[in-house]
Structure 1
Amino acid sequence: MAEEINELNQRKNTGKLRSQFRLDLIGFAFIAPWLIGFLSFIIGPMIASLYFSFTNYDLLSAPPSWIGLDNYINMFTNDDRFWKAIRVTLVFVFGSVPLKLAFALFVAMLFNTKRRGVGVYRTLYYVPSILGGSVAIAVVWKQLFGRDGAVNDILAIFGIPTTSWVTSPDFALSTLILLVIWQFGSPMLIFLAGLKAIPYELYEAASVDGANPFLQFIKITLPMLSPVIFFNLVMQTIQGFMAFTQSFLITNGGPMDNTLFYAVYLYEKAFAHFDMGYASALAWILLIICGLFTAFIFRTAKSWVHYESEGGN
């Protein structure tokens, strides 16, 4: 009798395993297109670029030859343009990201009201985020801030001295930062969603206690919105380090490398000099830099990001 019971249990277990195996196969079949693409177009190229970073690889004329850490040693000891690209990119990130997020939050708070036509304005203010990274907008921006552009025409009306902003060593990078700030639509919508989630009763209670709008912003809006600020900060920081189109199309890294973004220098090494080994090493250094800054933001988030489920900590 016991043997029969054991045999029945084994059959049931075998049936369950087969059923679970069929379900697993169905699941893998559904995710197979994504999985194949992930392995083929992300993991595969990453492994290849890691290998190339330890080689001397002329993209056109010769197969890769192993040189070990020479690319990395040369990068840190003999390449002045590498350090220039690092400095320019850091200035760009630290200049554009805080201003972009601050402006996006300001506009989101203006739109967080029940006013007639506010939906239309939200859409119009989001449009620059869709078009801001395009080739056409970059060309238009270059024309606007050129010596004969509309910006100088407006300044001339007020008697302000004009210059070619995109070719001036003093103003070229600021012009690109301004373009990025103009693309505030995406973080604005995320901030707006976060503002909508803050209970209005909190502001009513604060008003009864005598808190003015500034105190309400400091004591209610910022703490309640801190997870959204954290998300936008991480995403915009990563995008800042990967910026390419603005510098490549408007200034081509000039003048005097004052707008030489890291991604532009990487592209130049890969597809202008065809030094794919060195470019691969640059790409991995960029990945490490983004990872370090992201880890730093996550590390500091414990002291300023507040979650309601954690009792404000």
Structure 2
Amino acid sequence: MPSGLIALLDDVSVIAKLAATSIDDIGAATMKAGTKSAGVVIDDTAVTPRYVTGLSPDRELPIIWKIAKGSIKNKLFFLLPAALALSAFAPFLITPILMAGGAYLAFEATEKILEAIAHDQHAVEELLQADTPEELEERQTSGAIRTDFILSAEIMAIALNELNGMGLVQQAAALALVGLAITVAVYGAVGLIVKLDDIGLHLAEQPNGASRALGSGLVRMVPRLLKALSVIGTAAMLWVGGGILLHGLEELHIMEAVPHAIHGAAHAIGEAVGGGGFGATVEWIANAIGASIAGAIIGGLVVLVVKQFHKPKPAIA
């Protein structure tokens, strides 16, 4: 009997160790997948604040909460099951789907750049057509959740691509952790960003001179911060989109000379500045620039195709 109990305890000990190892594996995989998704996360954070622009300040946080709930639903109820089904039954489709998402990111970024250059206000004009604040809020929230779905799909696909070799349960746990962590990080940051001006105004009204100075500084900083986030987000989309496309070409053995040429040039530049840590940093930057250029080229081609099939409606006089 004692030997049976000892054997049972031995079995429990082994199971506990395996469970602990699995948790460690899931944590490591979650961290790796989340890191790979960083560029899309930056864009998600940069994009979301514009969906509360023009709305009542007291509705900003409730709207962000509505978008965050929509984001969690997107990730856990729709994208997570789809990702697991893809992993189980059609893993060969992961790279093409990633490349389609990369092309979309490149398209979105390139379109934003072209609209900024041409001073195109079409999206703003569409929002101004809303008849009531409630309708405007509904349009903004729906638009944000649609955009989140696309960005979340790319995040989950990137994450899934990093979880090869893991069991289905481990993949599900890691993807759920990635989805929840990214949602909390993105919408927590967005909530703070959109309320910074209110915090600044509150501090500016305080009798303490230091508080007033800090508050005035925050009020002046917020518009610049939002503009900087928009630029960073667009750059991140080009870099991530282009990088995904280049990696996909290598994986599928299609036009491999293109990514090889970019990696080779980046490596040569890194070696030319002396190698070592600084050289590695320069090489990484050169690779990012190369990926961004590739993203801009592909994005530009997609914009041209889309423009042929989506002509803006003429304004009614």
**TM bracket (short chain):** 0.3 to 0.5
Per the normalisation by structure 1, the TM-score is: 0.35
Bigger relative contact order, structure 1 or 2 (CA pairs below 8 A, ≥6 apart)? 2
The structure with the largest alpha-carbon Rg is 1
- Normalised to the residue count of structure 2, the TM-score between the two structures is 0.34
